[in-house]
Structure 1
Amino acid sequence: MTNSPVPVFDGHNDVLLRLRLSDAKDPVGDFLDGRKDGHIDLPRAREGGLAGGLCAIYVPSPSMAKDQNGDFPTPAQPEALNQTIAMARILLDIERRSNGGVKVCRTADDLRRSIATGSFAAVMHIEGAEAIAGDLDALYVLHQAGLRTLGPVWSRPNIFAYGVPFKFPSTPDIGPGLSDAGRDLIRACNDLRIMVDLSHLNEAGFWDVAKISKAPLVASHSNAHALSAHSRNLTDRQLDAIRDTGGLVGINFGVLFLRDDGRRDESTSLDVLVRHIDYIAERIGINHVALGSDFDGTTVPSDLKDASGLPRLIEALRNQGFSDEDIAKISFENWIDVLDRSWAA
């Protein structure tokens, strides 16, 4: 391995929820100074070359007891908005207290400058738009606060769309497509230059977005259904549509989305993760594949462990025959390119 880690821009992490739920006296300070729980803090990011990423604001379901349809319950909008604001504040507090070590990025130029100067490039992202009512007022306010990417759903239904449930083996073709409110949300995101994230959206919703959106199709943390038949993964036809719009797939490090048996097994080899990268690069081109770890939100291979282990993934890519140019595209350049085009579309 090289002494200087390859910079990695990551398409998805759940560190804000982990900090929100922490019982620590000062979770923001723990992130900045380092505390050895979870997958990400600033010292481990620097050690592993994690240069930034989409920092998700995700509001958990009120309970994990599924309904008769197998769906997780959906948070009520007022409470979801309160929790969303609380997590946005955590991100902004991290930036304020970091002495330049963290930057909440609103433009592609912000991303480029942050990576060049070694400041952690954080992008405010919402995973599941329960905080937003049908009037979309909150969307416009959150955009002013720094929101730049949004997934309409997590794996549960809401007023906008149907989130694909966690099922293995299963296709992603579960449930109906976008509602009228969902179509309005996609159009508003296009107008505001907010990137729409298709991870967690079911197949019908995916194709509805493909019909409506003027921006590249992006799935921030999903894998190849051909290799792992999980409902959260993308079919070859979906991959082709992403390619045809100049979009991107961020590879999820979660072992249950990587394995061909759907097991949550930490001993899963990094070679299995690389196989998904290789498959998607072969299918739709190297310019359309990147990383979307799901750090702090899923079980990752024990060989990776946390953000400090990213150089081991880079080494596995080299061992598979990816060139330095290919690795730069996968690790950060493709994300910056697609965000630049999405935000300027």
Structure 2
Amino acid sequence: MRTLPCCSLLVLALAACTQPATAPSPPAAASAAAPIAALAAGERRIKMSDGAEIYLKVAGKGPVCMLVHGGPGQGSLSTEKMGADKLEDFLTMVWLDQRGSGKSPDAQDYRLERVVQDFDEVRRALGADKMCLIAHSFGGILAVEYAKRYPQHVSELVLANSTLHFLGPENSRMQIAFVNRLLGRTVVAVADDANEAALAEGRERARAALMKSGKGYRFLTENTDSIRVMSEIDGGYERSRGFGNAIFEQRGAYPEYWIDYAPVSARIRSPVLVITSSKDYAVGPDEYKRFRFAHQKTVTLDGGHISYYENNAEFVAAIREFMAGRR
């Protein structure tokens, strides 16, 4: 079975571990809450209109919220088991594995339009009129695209440690600077006017140097225990990897995943909670500053990319407060 390319945000750190402000309230018309639907709990598989199969698990109580995991292709299990399941105390969580990810089998079509259509077909199959989306990392792009295409079915968005420009030039400059600072030397020097291709090449050289130093995990966290726990969970079952492989190996076929969605965020009218972290060097501690949501609340945590685990109490409390304030 193939493994995800090493440049995936999470896989890079997993491999390295084995080596030595509040916005104005939205108008009343935009504040319709997701219905508190009593969805049937448990695991299930749902066939999509194109024949692909989606795995999901429903658990909890309260407004319906779907997890939009990152990766690409990570799967939902480690997020759930590393503390995000505490959200089930006040939310009906839909732990969904995107097509070709986690427990959802590989598929033929990984276009962004098709992936977010899956989300809506699942919503309809579950009988939910509206739902909130809780996105992590790369999942932010998917959540924003869903909110753009299906605004009438989105009650809220929560973007946790999310990027809206996957491995874009902003990310390249940030990671190069971080590696230079962490290793105490100029591993990679880039010109102020360097183009995107030069920045991407420099980022890969910087990543390789950090991996060689045994500190590749530092993009995600300062704590190797977090990586160990995630690795044990994700390595404990046979995962589909088609989505992640397709995005990297067939980049030309899926250009939509590589463009900047920060401008698109200005078109989203749903209330948005952004959870960012001061030591997140996977997407960058300042990535959220590029977002342009009309109704955005931002909470900054003192930690890294895996905030749902390392800052679990604050993570859960921020979402609880945000959701409670909407009802």
Q: Do they fold alike, i.e. is TM over 0.5? A: no
What is the TM-score normalised by the length of structure 1?
0.33
Structure with bigger RCO (C-alpha 8 Å, 6+ apart): 2
What is the TM-score normalised by the length of structure 2?
0.35
